[in-house]
């Protein structure tokens, strides 16, 4: 066995120190709080129900546990299932997996996990997959018909199930056999507060479509049925509608025909509707109490659905025929008796339907008799129950759990003793509680409680539950594990919790008080012959087959066996089957009563740990030795602790183990050597070995790292050295190649020149003296012709924006090529110009003027290039007042916009409308629409603008003009590029002079007889919102912030 490093708590309780109840519970709680729900006791698995979905299941984990032995990974139910399957497959041992625990401890889920693991790891193939699917799909069907919500568990199994899965010699499943035990059929007619009836009733109502409900004569609301608890209809986390679909699909996969499924649902609906048959008091002619049907509708619907005669069914419910060998006597039933008969019929129909479903599943999954097979049994049976009111059902359930506990104790001790004897180790007896005396109290053939119950049911005379209890008190008044009010009074004990009609048994799981009311009736489990005969006459073949005793030809006066006797016989057969197989145990524990995840109830778990005998199981495992392992596995794990056995050992496994322990100086009293295994008494020794192994692994890891790092550095150095040598050799070779190439090219050039010179010298006398010039001129012209033809074929597009031009093939053509490029561009421009309208020409001229004035000088210019000049920005045509002002001036208005005039005295601004004509600049009051100033263009001496993106500009006027005497104008325009461009062209056209433009951030503005220095500065980057800020500094300075 190996211990998983970094584990939470102790994974195997055999190694727990100190071995006490408190430390055991603390360890379980620590692992539970960290979502480690599985813990080992040797080869026994303890499972704590987490009440939530954990991500520790599925194909990934199945593959993981399939490839490792039992103790190599964390405790898991897959590990136990793998051990059972591998033992069955390779050791040819029949296996059984016993899943025990309280109701709500997770036994059903554990059985499904075991089956899903076995299905995943066994063989493949179409037939094998079909068998596996049938085995797995039996769970939804049996859960629907056999499980119910109880106070302790939302999906509690209300029957016992033992499934034998049969395999061939290869380990592939062939089929199986399911055995069911004691369905809690009393739940059909009555449930405790907060509980539900069997799931199938709610699934049928929630999942069936309207057509099916109509055929079954059912209503969708569960509250309308007397057999269903009206307080609880739904269960959190459980979808009844989806589960109904899953159940139908599962029945189809198993092999149920559509007709069989329909008949099963009809019989289920029949049970549900029987509860709504109301019975009322009636009296016969002689005054004898009788009973009748209050509303015949329910009986008629039942009769129509399954093909019964409604009058015969009503007669069977309200009367009883007593038949002897000589005569028949018909007796009317009063209301209480009729209700008992109705409920007994409902319980029997449902119980027999459940048995038929199990039988039908077995027919689908059964294996041929001629095949040799191996068997794995999975037992999922109801857990030990201690309720507020415990009746006959709880009595037999707890009896079955007593027998399972007896099997666990006997087989566990037997296995331990056999292993010690097999290994030659002395066995020390361990004291443990043997519950055989309790089993004997219940099942003894002559003096057991079940025998007394059968005797009381069969004896003539007045028989009641009270007489049965009196017989028990008389027989067991001195028994140590039996108590009642009578025995307590005899011993002068007072216990207010013990009723007069109760007795108490001290089970292994604790004391349970049983109420004997209805023990006789439930044990007799009688159904009136009239009802059996009525059901046998049904046209529904399934319902008819459930009551073979109703056939008059097979009628028998022999009394059927009692429920207790049948269950006792079934348990005996189960025990015989379990003893014949190798057992594997899963002990399920419920952490709290409220099904809440993460909540650990100390008292509840302590009680379960006590009656499950976990501490005794650990003590049995540790009676001789807490730890055992084969010599080979032990040597493989711990051989690194000895210099003799590490890294190589050539001797035997036992000698190697002895050498390791001798070098570690471990006490011989704590270690014993068996024939094939080593046995260690104290867990401290194992922990010491693990700690030494951990330290040794750290040392070896450090050594490995050191050697690896050195090796990696050497390899890296060698690779770098090889690379440097290779690079150097390639570099030197390449350099020599280049040098050789240059020398070769020079030699060839010299040779060519020499050969040319010699040729010219030899042949000069044969040619005219001007032949060279003629040839050169011809060659040049040919090259020029080739150049021009090539240029013709590769001319770029006629788009004036296309700047592409082919490069000259020879340097001698560079000047000509540039001239041709210029001419081609001018031709494209001329062609483009000829295509333009006069208006487009005028727009281009305006843009050209703006470009000459501002390109590369003012930051606002690039933004104005794509925007056409509009001229009118104030709606001049729509404003009659401005039209009137316009009409008084000469020439058209070139620009009309709103500007801001800056007061040179205080820096404040005021709005003005500016009109630019061919001869004047007019400033108009924006409010009164009156001309304030008219400036002739001949009076404008110059313009100053800044290089920023602002619209500030200054009109410098000549002093000799009438307007100029007042001083210059400082204005702000949003279209300064357009305004000044148009002004420049107007001045040029009017006065035949160029208007001086100055781009500067500092200029002087004339104000009457004085000058004001204007300084424009750039504001902080974050404050650029497009506004200008004017600040007067003294009398002769104005600072403008952009």
Residues identified as active-site? 103-104, 108, 153, 156-157, 383, 385
Neighbours of 496 (CB within 10 A): 5
Q: Are 958 and 943 in contact (CB under 8 A)?
A: no
The closest of 780, 699, 589, 598 to 103, measured between CA atoms, is 589
Q: Are 912 and 901 in contact (CB under 8 A)?
A: yes
Please tell me whether residue 905 adopts helix, strand or coil conformation.
coil
Residue with token string 């800044």: 946
- Rounded Cα distance, 83 and 64, in Å: 14
Phi then psi dihedrals of residue 811, to 5 deg: -60, -25
Tokens of 297: 């509708």
Please tell me whether residue 603 adopts helix, strand or coil conformation.
helix
Q: Tell me which H or E stretch contains 610.
A: helix 602-611
Q: Are 88 and 135 in contact (CB under 8 A)?
A: no
The closest of 910, 843, 913 to 876, measured between CA atoms, is 913
Peptide bond preceding 44: is omega within 30 degrees of 0, i.e. cis? no
Tokens of 810: 């020879």
Instruction: List residues bridging with 1038 in a β-sheet.
Output: 1014, 1032
Peptide bond preceding 361: is omega within 30 degrees of 0, i.e. cis? no
Burial status of residue 259 (CB atoms within 10 A of its CB: 0-12, 13-18, 19 or more): exposed
Q: Are 204 and 265 in contact (CB under 8 A)?
A: yes
- Decide the pairing of beta strands 374-380 and 160-167: antiparallel
Please tell me whether residue 682 adopts helix, strand or coil conformation.
coil
The closest of 590, 616, 615, 614 to 603, measured between CA atoms, is 590
- Rounded Cα distance, 2 and 628, in Å: 11
The conformational region for residue 612 under phi > 0 = left, psi -120 to 50 = alpha, else beta, is alpha
Burial status of residue 200 (CB atoms within 10 A of its CB: 0-12, 13-18, 19 or more): buried
- Rounded Cα distance, 607 and 798, in Å: 101
Neighbours of 520 (CB within 10 A): 19
User: Quick one: how many helices (H) and strands (E) in the chain?
Assistant: 32, 31
The closest of 314, 394, 346 to 227, measured between CA atoms, is 346
Q: Are 47 and 110 in contact (CB under 8 A)?
A: yes
Please tell me whether residue 179 adopts helix, strand or coil conformation.
strand
Residue with token string 């039908």: 360
- Rounded Cα distance, 189 and 393, in Å: 14
């Amino acid at each position: 066995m190996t211990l998983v490093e970094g584990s939470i708590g102790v994974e195997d309780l055999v190694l727990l120190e100190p071995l006490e109840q408190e430390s055991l519970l603390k360890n379980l709680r620590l692992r539970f709080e960290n979502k480690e729900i599985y813990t080992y006791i040797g080869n026994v698995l303890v499972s704590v129900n987490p009440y939530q979905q954990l991500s520790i299941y599925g194909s990934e984990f199945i593959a993981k546990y399939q490839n490792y032995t039992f103790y190599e990974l964390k405790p898991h139910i897959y590990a136990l299932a793998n051990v059972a399957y591998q033992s069955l497959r390779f050791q040819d041992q029949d296996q059984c997996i016993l899943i025990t625990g309280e109701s709500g401890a997770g036994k059903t889920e554990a059985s499904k996990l075991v089956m899903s693991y076995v299905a995943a790891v066994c063989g493949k193939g179409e037939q094998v997959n079909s068998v596996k699917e049938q085995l797995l799909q039996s769970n939804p069907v049996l859960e629907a018909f056999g499980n119910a919500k109880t106070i302790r568990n939302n999906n509690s199994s209300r029957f016992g199930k033992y499934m034998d899965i049969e395999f061939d010699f290869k380990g592939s499943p062939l089929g199986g056999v399911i055995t069911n035990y004691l369905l809690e059929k009393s739940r059909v007619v009555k449930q405790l507060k907060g509980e539900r009836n069997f799931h199938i009733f709610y699934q049928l109502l929630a999942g069936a479509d309207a057509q099916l409900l109509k055929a079954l004569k059912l209503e969708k609301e569960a509250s309308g049925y007397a057999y269903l608890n009206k307080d609880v209809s739904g269960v959190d986390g459980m979808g009844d509608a989806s589960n109904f679909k899953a159940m139908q699909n599962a029945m189809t996969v198993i092999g149920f025909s559509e007709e069989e499924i329909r008949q099963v649902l009809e019989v289920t609906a029949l049970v549900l509707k029987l509860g709504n048959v109301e019975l009322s008091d009636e009296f016969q002619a002689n005054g004898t109490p009788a009973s009748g049907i209050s509303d015949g509708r329910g009986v008629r619907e039942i009769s129509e659905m399954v093909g019964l005669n409604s009058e015969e069914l009503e007669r069977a419910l309200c009367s009883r025929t007593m038949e002897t060998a000589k005569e028949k006597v018909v007796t009317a039933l009063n209301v209480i008796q009729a209700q008992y008969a109705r409920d007994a019929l409902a319980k029997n129909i449902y119980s027999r339907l459940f048995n038929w479903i199990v039988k039908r599943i077995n027919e689908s999954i059964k294996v041929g008799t001629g095949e040799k097979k191996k068997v794995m049994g999975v037992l999922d049976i109801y857990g030990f129950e201690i309720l507020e009111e415990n009746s006959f059902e709880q009595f037999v359930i707890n009896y079955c759990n007593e027998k399972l506990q007896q099997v666990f104790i006997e087989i566990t001790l037997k296995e331990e003793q056999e292993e010690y004897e097999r290994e030659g180790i002395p066995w020390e007896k361990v004291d443990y509680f043997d519950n055989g005396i309790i089993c004997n109290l219940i099942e003894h053939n002559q003096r057991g409680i079940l025998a007394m119950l059968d005797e009381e049911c069969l004896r003539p005379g007045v028989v009641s539950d009270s007489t049965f209890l009196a017989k028990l008190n008389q027989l067991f008044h001195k028994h140590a594990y039996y108590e009642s009010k009578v025995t307590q009074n005899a011993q002068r004990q007072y216990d207010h919790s013990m009723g007069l009609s109760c007795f108490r048994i001290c089970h292994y799981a604790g004391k349970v008080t049983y109420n004997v009311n209805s023990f006789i009736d439930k044990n007799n489990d009688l159904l009136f012959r009239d009802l059996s005969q009525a059901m046998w006459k049904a046209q529904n073949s399934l319902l008819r087959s459930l009551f073979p005793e109703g056939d008059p030809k097979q009628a028998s006066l022999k009394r059927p066996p009692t429920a207790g006797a049948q269950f006792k016989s079934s348990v005996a057969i189960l025990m015989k089957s379990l003893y014949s197989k190798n057992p594997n145990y899963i002990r399920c524990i419920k952490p709290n009563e409220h099904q809440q995840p993460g909540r650990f109830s100390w008292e509840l778990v302590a009680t379960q740990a006590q009656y499950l005998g976990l501490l005794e199981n650990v003590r049995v495992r540790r009676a001789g030795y807490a730890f055992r392992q084969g010599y080979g596995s032990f040597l493989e794990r711990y051989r690194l602790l000895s210099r003799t056995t590490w890294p190589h050992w050539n001797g035997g496994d036992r000698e190697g183990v002895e050498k390791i322990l001798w070098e570690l100086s471990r006490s011989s009293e704590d270690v014993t050597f068996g024939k094939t295994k080593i046995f260690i008494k104290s867990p401290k020794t194992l922990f010491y070995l693990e700690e030494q192994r951990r330290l040794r692994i750290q040392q070896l890891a450090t050594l490995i790292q050191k050697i690896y790092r050195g090796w990696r550095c050497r390899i890296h150095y060698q690779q770098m050295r090889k690379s440097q040598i290779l690079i150097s050799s390639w570099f030197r070779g390449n350099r020599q190649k280049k040098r050789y190439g240059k020398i070769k090219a020079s030699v060839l050039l010299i040779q060519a020149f020499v050969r040319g010179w010699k040729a010219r010298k030899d042949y000069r006398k044969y040619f005219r003296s001007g032949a060279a010039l003629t040839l050169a001129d011809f060659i040049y012209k040919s090259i020029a012709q080739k150049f021009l033809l090539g240029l013709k074929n590769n001319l770029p597009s006629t788009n004036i924006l296309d700047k592409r031009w082919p490069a000259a093939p020879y340097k001698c053509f560079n000047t000509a090529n540039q001239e041709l490029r210029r001419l081609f561009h001018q031709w494209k421009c001329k062609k483009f110009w000829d295509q333009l309208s006069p208006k487009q020409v005028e727009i281009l001229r305006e843009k050209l003027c703006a470009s000459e004035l501002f390109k590369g000088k003012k930051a606002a210019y690039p933004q104005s290039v794509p925007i056409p000049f509009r001229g009118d920005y104030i709606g001049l045509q729509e404003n009659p007042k401005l039209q009137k002002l316009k009409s008084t001036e000469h020439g058209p208005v070139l620009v009309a916009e709103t500007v801001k005039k800056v007061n040179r005295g205080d820096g404040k601004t005021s709005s003005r409308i500016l009109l630019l004509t061919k001869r004047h600049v007019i400033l108009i009051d924006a409010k009164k629409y009156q001309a304030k100033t008219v400036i002739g263009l001949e009076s404008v001496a110059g313009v100053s603008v800044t290089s920023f993106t602002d619209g500030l500009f200054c009109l410098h006027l000549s002093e000799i003009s009438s307007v100029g005497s007042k001083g210059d104008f400082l204005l702000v325009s949003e279209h300064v590029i357009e305004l000044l461009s148009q002004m420049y062209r107007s001045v040029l056209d009017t006065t035949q002079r160029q208007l001086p433009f100055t781009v500067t951030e500092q200029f002087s503005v004339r104000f009457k007889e004085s000058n004001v220095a204007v300084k424009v500065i750039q504001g902080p980057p974050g404050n650029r919102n497009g506004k200008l800020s004017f600040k007067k500094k003294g009398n002769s300075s104005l600072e403008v912030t952009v």
